[in-house]
Amino acid sequence: MKQRILDAAHTDVPDLRDAIKASPRFQVRTKVNLWSQLRLRPLQFASLLLIFAVALTVWLRSPAPLVSDVYATIYLEINPTFEIDINADYDILEVRPINTEASSLLEGLESLQGQHFNIALDQLVERAVTLEYLNAERPVMMLDVASRQVENRTTVIDRVTERLPELRDRHLPNIDIVEGDARNQTDEETDAAVSHDISVMRLRLIREIIALDESYRFETLVHWDVGKLRTLLETLRERQDTDDSIRPDDRPDDDPSHIRPPNNETPDSDSDSGIGSGG
């Protein structure tokens, strides 16, 4: 009989344990949820709340725009150089001064962020005229636009250049805008431009001039204003086009520039000498 009681006791114990574990009282006492964990660690919970609050404040107050908001980036060279991000409504998201002159120019202005680009451009030009970065002898600005959509670039350039008559009436009668090249900048170009405190647009302009005529020195050209550089480049391009239109055999050996008029034209000096010999 005793053995039977012992055997029955061993058989009932697992069932008794399962019953206890399944009871509501056991579940309430043993289940640990998130809030109970947090109550056990009040200092850690307070630290997490503080970190979250600081991160949220920084994010809400951050002036940097979302990349998806940037409709186009305008590169503006007035000798002071700026990169200006705008949205599709032409409101300014961010203005980045690229050189020390640009930083100095912005010091006299209220923040341009949030303003329409037309208003900001008017203020930039007015300030540049006041500081004589733009004047009657140096009236040229250089402009380029980068955008994920190619058609946006042309649209923005056209809209900016349409402002010229108004800018001339308000600030400078002979002010002008020429198109530059600032897209797809390489690290080498960016580093070189920064080291000389100029824009990539100006750097590329100078390098193209030197490629067409190696007699010009970078150290000299870097101090020229944009208008003078553009005029020189156009002259050198025209000279190159003339040079390319001549057959190599027609170039005289004594011409150091290797340039002479096209075959259907005769220099005045040659025609004068011809008349003299015929007489």
Exposed (0-12), middle (13-18) or buried (19+): which is 6, by Cβ within 10 Å?
Answer: exposed
On whether the CB atoms of residues 90 and 159 are closer than 8 A, the answer is yes
Sorting pLDDT into bands at 50, 70 and 90, what band is 101? very high
Query: What is the total count of domains within the chain?
Result: 4
204-230 per-position pLDDT tens digit? 999 999 999 999 999 999 999 999 999
Q: What is the value of pTM for the model shown? A: 0.63
Query: Do 167 and 101 sit in the same domain of this protein?
Result: yes
3-state helix, strand, coil in the chain (%, to 5): 55, 10, 30
Does the residue 15 lie in any domain? yes
> Domain limits at 6?
1-29
Residues 89 and 158 in one domain: yes
Same domain for 169 and 207, yes or no, is no
On whether both 131 and 142 belong to a single domain, the answer is: yes
Contact 129, 135 (CB under 8 A): yes
Strand partners, 176: 140
Per-residue pLDDT tens over the stretch 63-95: 444 445 899 999 999 989 999 999 999 999 999
Tokens of 36: 């109970």
Same domain, residue pair 57 and 73: no
Which residues, including other chains, have CB under 8 Å from residue 263's CB and lie 6 or more apart? Answer: 246, 247, 250
Task: Count Cβ atoms below 10 Å from residue 105 Cβ, excluding itself.
Answer: 23
Tokens of 166: 């108004």
In a domain, 276, yes or no: no
- 75 and 165 in a common domain: yes
Q: Say yes or no: 88 and 4 in one domain.
A: no
Residues 209 and 258 reside in one and the same domain: yes
Same domain, yes or no: 127 and 193: no
Residues 40 and 23 in one domain: no
